[in-house]
A = this chain, B = another copy of it.
Amino acid sequence: MTIQMTAQIFTIGELAQEFDTTTRAIRFYEDQGLISPLREGQKRIYSTADRITIKLIMRGKRLGFSLAESKELIDLYNTEGDNRTQHVRVLEQVKASRERLLQQKTDIEIMLLELEEHENRVKADMK
């Protein structure tokens, strides 16, 4: 009794729908070297790995990352664990990314506080 594990695949249209974007955009990401789907004849075949990459791209976009920046992150995760200098570079990149995210986090906290303040002013004004 064997368990059949078929690798999940996706069409470009499915992914466009799932991530609320367009096929044009997804092909563009391929142009820019962010994904490299396989082909079945002419047609692009996306793996779950491709799908995750697109998810990462979209998350990046919501945070204001350029595609180039997202690509750096993607490449970061795809570094084959080889030599030490590579590793060092990766760790530095991780540090930089983390710092950026933490800065954004405090920016968000401040903006949330300011929004709340303003909301209260307006609500008080309504009475």
Contacts and interface: CB of A to CB of B under 8 A. Distances in A.
Main secondary structure of the interface of A (DSSP, over half): helix
Interface residues of A, number: 36
A115 interface: yes
**Copy number of this protein in the oligomer?**
2
A126 B87 contact: yes
Contacts of A91: 119, 122-123
Contact of A101 (B76, B87, B98, B108): B108
Contacts of A39: none
Interface of A: 59, 61-65, 76-77, 79, 81, 84, 87, 90-91, 94, 97-98, 101-105, 107-108, 110-112, 114-115, 118-119, 121-123, 125-126
